[in-house]
Amino acid sequence: SSRQDVIVATSSGRHPNSILDLLSFPYIFRGALDVQASKINENMLLAAAHSLADLARDEVTEEVERAYGFEHFTFGPEYLLPKPIDSRIFIRESTAVALKAIEENLAKIKIQNENYQESLNIRLGTGRDTMRNLILQARQQKLRVVFSEGNSETILRSCSILLEEGIAIPILLGSENEIGEKIDSLDLDLHGIQIIDPSKSIKTENYVEQYYKMRYRRGVILPAAKDRLHQKDYFAAMMVHSGDADIMIAGFSTHYSETLSIIMQIVGPAQGIKRISSYYLALLPKDVVILADCAVNIDPNSEELAEIAILSAKTCKSLGIEPVIGMLSYSNFGSIDNSSVLKVRKATEMVKEKSLDFIIDGEMQLATARDEGIRKDYFPFTKLKSNANVLIFPDLQSANLTLQSLQYMGNAVTVGPILMGTRLPVHLLQYGSRVQDVVNLTTVAVVQALEMRRI
């Protein structure tokens, strides 16, 4: 009889694992060259093989599943080796070979494991470099992030990565039994993760009392307050309000505006901020750009646009990027006069009058903001001496359409929407968010929350 628990592999098996050239030689040579190894010996090859074997047992990333039609891979006959497009191969295998060469006294250059891995990450591109830098910042002090939809497969897979990368301490809301069963069925390592059921928590009564005091003059009666605090989004917001969590992330399967309303009730805007707004981080092949407002304010007036621009500049600095702001319109510096153009022009002047420590100009077309040749040939007077990396759109429609064009036709990696101007760190996911979307948004949220503490 055959045994189902044994896999005997050959180089020409019937399962889709015979891709050795793609998975081995480029990365073996990379590691050997980086430490100037005098030769490649058998133990270095064995180290490469072990790195692939270990990676095949790790959680598969979203980029791999997306490339294979969102097929879910787990270690077994159909998935003995990592897929060639998995960007982690470059880092894991090159590092394993380089370290083994040092151990075997074949290397002229000595390297530190973490430093070498970060240098490999940087070689993978600007966007990945930016996210790696943010991950390093997030690791400085792990914050507690409460996810209101703890029984979601996407959220659970995201939490597995967040724990593995040391980005945050996730807290899951929902039935402990249901979430535990789902974790087991997905074969995830989430040992020790905190799970809170709002219907059974000892905190619920206190949260009800606090929420009722906030809202009893806003039409909320006590029974309604009790009912709402058994809902996970309300409970999560109260956790952040009460200091029992540092960050809230919600909205994975709820309507954006409905969850935003809950946030407005409990958290609200920060002191001195008139309106909450949002931005997306667009990771382009050679650049990183902030786009605002892509999710909250439908048709902001001049004052609101000015506030969005200022908040975006502060956000940009919190991410370690020096802001250069382009205030966008279909007009270039007074070429057209109508109400939609005038509000952008006025907003630009309002920000300039504050004499803040960042560059801003407008109104201008997107091409002008991002093309040095156009500025040099036609608008040499502009204050923008480099391409704008913060783009402020005149309304939600233009911002959202531009964002989706980048996502679906420009192959940009986007992170967001990320809320700005809230009293406490709370963020909402969009419909259809994938694992990497959740991980990226959480990473940025942690970095911004740490920055808020330093201010």
Q: Which residues is 173 bridged to in the sheet?
A: 196
Can 138-266 and 277-421 be said to share one CATH topology?
A: yes
CATH number of 138-266: 3.40.50.10950
d(CA 380, CA 400): 30
Cis peptide before 59 (omega within 30 of 0): no
The rounded Cα 130 to chain-centroid distance in angstroms is: 11
Q: Decide: 77 and 15 in contact? Cβ < 8 Å.
A: yes
**SS3 call for 192:** coil
User: What is the pTM for the complete model shown?
Assistant: 0.72
- Mean pLDDT within 279-291: 87
Which listed CATH number (3.30.930.10, 3.30.1740.10, 3.40.50.300, 3.40.50.10750) goes with 277-421? 3.40.50.10750
Of 165, 146, 142, 164, nearest in space to 155 by CA: 146
CB atoms within 10 A of CB 59: 17
Residues 6+ apart with CB under 8 A from 121: 91, 128, 129, 132
Supply the pLDDT for residue 455: 60
- Going from N- to C-terminal start, the domains of the chain cover 20-124, 138-266, 277-421
For the stretch 375-414, pLDDT in tens is: 999 999 998 989 999 999 999 999 999 998 988 777 678 8
Residue 427 structure tokens: 């963020």
Determine the residue type at 39.
K
Q: What angle, rounded to 10 degrees, do the helices at 113-123 and 88-103 form?
A: 140
Lowest mean pLDDT across 187-196, 222-231, 270-279, 368-377:
187-196
For the stretch 27-71, pLDDT in tens is: 888 899 888 899 999 999 999 999 998 998 888 876 667 556 667
Residues 6+ apart with CB under 8 A from 138: 167, 168, 443, 446, 447, 450
Superfamily holding 20-124: NAD(P)-binding Rossmann-like Domain (3.40.50.720)
Is 22's pLDDT higher than 70? no
The percentage of residues in the chain with a pLDDT greater than 90, rounded to a whole number, is 44
d(CA 312, CA 292): 7
Is 20's pLDDT higher than 80? no
The confidence band for 266, taking pLDDT boundaries of 50, 70 and 90, is: very high
Supply the pLDDT for residue 192: 80
Lowest mean pLDDT across 194-203, 254-263, 299-308:
254-263
